[in-house]
Amino acid sequence: MAPTPPPSPVQPAPCDAPRPAGAGGTLAVAVLGSTGSIGTSTLDVIAASGGRYRAALLAAHTSVAALLEQARLHRPEWVVITDPGAAATVGATALPAGTRLAVGPDALDELLRGPGIDRVVSAIVGAAGLRSTWAALDAGKTVALANKETLVMAGPLVTRLAAERGAALVPVDSEHSAIHQALRSGGSDEVVRVILTASGGPFRTRAAETLAAVTPEEALRHPTWSMGPKITVDSATMMNKALELVEARWLFDLAPEQLDVVVHPQSIVHSMVEFVDGSVVAQLGPPDMRLPIQYALSYPRRHDGPARRLDLAQGLRLEFEPPDPRRFPAVRLGHEAARRGGTAGAVLNAANEVAVGAFLAGSLRFTDIAEVCARILDRHEFRAAPSLDDIRRLDSWAREEVVQWSRS
Binding site for ligand NDP (CB under 6 A): 33-39, 60-63, 82, 123-125, 128-129, 146-149, 173, 225, 227-228, 230-231, 289
What is the chain's alpha carbon radius of gyration, rounded to the nearest angstrom?
20
Closer to ligand NDP by CB, 29 or 227: give it. Answer: 227
Binding to Mg ion by residue 288, rule CB under 5 A?
A: no
Of 174 and 232, CB closest to Mg ion? 174
The C-alpha torsion from 252 through 253 and 256 to 262, rounded to 10°, is -10
Q: Which of the listed partners (Mg ion, ligand NDP, none) does 61 bind, with a CB threshold of 5 to 8 Å by partner kind? A: ligand NDP
Q: Is the CA virtual torsion 74, 76, 81, 86 positive or negative? A: positive
Q: How far is the CB of 381 from ligand NDP (least distance, A)?
A: 26
**Contact of 105 with 83, CB cutoff 8 Å:** no
Minimum separation from the CB atom of position 284 to Mg ion (A): 15
Is 375 exposed, middle or buried, given 0-12, 13-18 or 19+ CB atoms closer than 10 A? Answer: middle
CB of 80 to ligand NDP, least distance (A): 9
- The entry of ligand NDP, Mg ion, none near residue 29 (CB within 5 to 8 angstroms by kind) is none
User: Phi and psi for 132 in degrees, rounded to 5?
Assistant: -75, -35
Partner whose binding site includes residue 231, from Mg ion, ligand NDP, none (CB under 5 to 8 Å by kind): ligand NDP
Given the rule CB under 5 A, which of 21-29, 58-66, 169-177, 183-191 is the region that contacts Mg ion? Answer: 169-177
Nearest position to ligand NDP, beta carbon? 36
The interface partner of residue 49, options being ligand NDP, Mg ion, none and the CB cut-off 5 to 8 Å by kind, is none
Size of the site for Mg ion (CB under 5 A): 3
Question: Using an 8 Å Cβ cutoff, are 77 and 57 in contact?
Answer: yes
CA distances (Å), origin 380, targets 2, 44, 72, 351, 393: 18, 42, 47, 11, 11
Which of 40, 43, 66 lies closest to 56 in space, CA to CA?
43
CA angle, corner 231, sides to 317 and 293, nearest 5?
70
Of 42 and 406, the one with the shorter C-beta distance to ligand NDP is 42
Tell me how far apart the terminal alpha carbons of the chain are, to the nearest angstrom. Answer: 37
Phi, psi of 283 (to 5 degrees): -115, 135
Edge-first strand order for the sheet with 259-263 is: 259-263, 191-198, 269-275, 280-284
Q: Closer to ligand NDP by CB, 21 or 128: give it.
A: 128
Q: Which does 38 bind (CB under 5 to 8 A by kind): ligand NDP, Mg ion, none?
A: ligand NDP
The nearest distance, CB 352 to ligand NDP, in angstroms, is 11
- C-alpha to C-alpha distance for 82 and 94, rounded to whole angstroms: 17
Q: How far is the CB of 25 from ligand NDP (least distance, A)?
A: 28
3-state secondary structure of 58: strand
Among residues 339, 182, 197, 325, which one has the least CA distance to residue 257? 339
Q: Closest CB to Mg ion among 174 and 367?
A: 174
From the centroid of its chain, how far is CA 23? Answer: 29
Identify which of residues 151 and 186 has a Cβ nearer to ligand NDP in the complex. Answer: 151
Parallel, antiparallel, or unpaired for β 168-171 and 142-145? parallel
Closest residue to Mg ion using C-beta atoms: 173
Burial 135-153 (b: 16+ CB within 10 A, else e): bbbbbebbbbbbbbbbbbb
Helix (H, G, I), strand (E, B) or coil at 97: coil
Sketch the per residue contact string, 175 through 194, with Mg ion: x for CB under 5 A, - otherwise. x-------------------
Q: Please select the residue that binds Mg ion; options are 149, 173, 353, 401, rule is CB under 5 A.
A: 173
Give the nearest distance from C-beta 132 to ligand NDP in angstroms. 8
Nearer to ligand NDP, 182 or 233 (CB): 233
Residue nearer to Mg ion on the CB measure, 175 or 274: 175
**Cβ at position 276, least distance to ligand NDP in Å:** 30
**Residue 36 binding result from Mg ion, ligand NDP, none, given CB thresholds of 5 to 8 Å by partner type:** ligand NDP
Strands 78-81, 53-60: pairing is parallel
Give the one entry of ligand NDP, Mg ion, none that residue 121 binds, where binding means its C-beta sits below a cut-off of 5 to 8 angstroms depending on kind. none
From the list 128-136, 170-178, 201-209, 281-289, the region that binds Mg ion by CB under 5 A is 170-178
Residue ranges that bind Mg ion, judged by CB under 5 A: 173-175
